[in-house]
Every structure is written in C-alpha cells, then in structure tokens.
Amino acid sequence: MNQILIIEDEERISSFLEKGLSSNGFTTSVAATGKDGLEFARGGVFDLVILDIGLPDISGFEVLEELRRGDTATPVIILTARDGVIDTVSGLEGGADDYVTKPFRFEELLARVRVRLREDRVPETTLLKAGDCSLDLRTRRLARGEKTMELSAREFALAELFFRHPGQVLTREQILSNVWGYDYDPGSNVVDVYVGYLRKKLGSDAITTVRGTGYRLTDGHPS
Ligand code: CA
C-alpha cells in the first residue's frame, strides 16, 4: 500500500485529499506546517509527498530544498495557486516532480499521483467493465452491448468514478468531491443532473438510485 504525506495548512483541502486518497487505497499522513512536514518526512517512509507552497511557517520551497538535501528519490507533487506559475517553474527546478494548480479536481491530482507511482503498479487496464457496460479510458467512450457513446469531459469523470466502483453505492458527497472538487456547493444538484445524462446514454436501469444515499452502477448482479 502506498503511503502519501500531505503537507498542507488549509484543513478543507487536506481533508479533501485524505478522503479521496484513502478511498483509492492510499494511506495518508497530514502535516499542517512546513516544519511538521519535514519532521514527518524524516521520521517515516513515504512513497510520495504532496506539498503546498503557501505554508504558515516556512514556504513549500524551503521544505522542498530541505527534503531534497537528504532524499532525492521520493516523488514530490507541489500544489500552487494559479497565479504562481513562475514559482512553479522554480519548484520544478528545485526538485519537484510535478505540480497541480489550485483549485483542482481530485481526479486530476489522482492521475498525477498514479503517474508518479507508476513504477510500483501493475499496468492498468484501459477498459473498465460493469455488467454489459464498459468504459474505455483511452478513447473515453462509453459502451453498452453494441452501442458506443461519446462523453463530455465531466460525464467521463463521473463515468470513470462509477466504473472504478461497480456495484458500490456512491454518496452524492463522494461524487461531488471526486468529480467536482472541494470548491463545489454541497447543496447543488449537479450530481443528479449528470447521473441523468449518463442514464440517458446507458439506459435508465444501468444506474440505480439508492434512496437517501446516492447512486450505484449495476455490476450485472441483482442488488
Ligand atoms: Ca496554503
């Protein structure tokens, strides 16, 4: 199991990251200051570090510099504000492997994490199946039986989440934070709207409403 260290002072972002990463099988530790982050990094074995640049005590760059003094191998992904592109370039020169600009979608970050940990992973299949439905991650097409369908970017992100958890109930909150990110209003009905779009494409029986909880993509077995 991969251990990820999150160094981020903003609690809503670190808990968003923790939730998302742990539901994807990663183990996480969170440090809210640069100094704590360095202490954690020195005291534990981490496969990857997610590092915020704007920290309350020392900046993410200083953390990175300090980190790289003793350890050059652990991948580091930095989180940076959208207007911090110049900073980002110096971050990459300073030994970061990748960066994600805030605000970001969870799936976007997860993809970067997976790329950085790729060496340890078995090659990933590009075709996800659930019952007689499938999602091709390479072509981004959805299929049921003989019928193939195109998806918008958001529909694809939602479909990917369902196809990675077939037969499992996903709550609206899980779906919102995975597909829309932490900046989304929890009272919004976008989830229902987009589930509706997928149903229109896959057939209404493909995604079941679990009353009061959320939605489930059928895996072909009676639920
Ligand atoms: Ca910050």
pLDDT tens per residue across span 160-195 = 999 988 999 999 888 988 888 767 777 788 999 999
Distance CA 52, CA 31 (A): 10
| Ligand 1 centre distance from Cα of residue 83 (Å) | 14
**CA nearest neighbour of 130 among 168, 166, 169, 170:** 166
What residue has token string 């199946």?
A: 129
pLDDT tens-digit map of 120-167: 545 556 899 999 999 998 888 999 988 999 999 899 999 999 998 899
Residues with CB under 5 A from ligand 1 (ion): 9, 52, 54
| Ligand 1 centre distance from Cα of residue 32 (Å) | 9
What residue has token string 């609690």?
A: 11
Tokens of 57: 């005590």
Q: Judge contact between 39 and 77, C-beta under 8 A.
A: no
Distance CA 171, CA 65 (A): 40
Is the pTM of the predicted complex or chain greater than 0.85? no
| Ligand 1 centre distance from Cα of residue 157 (Å) | 26
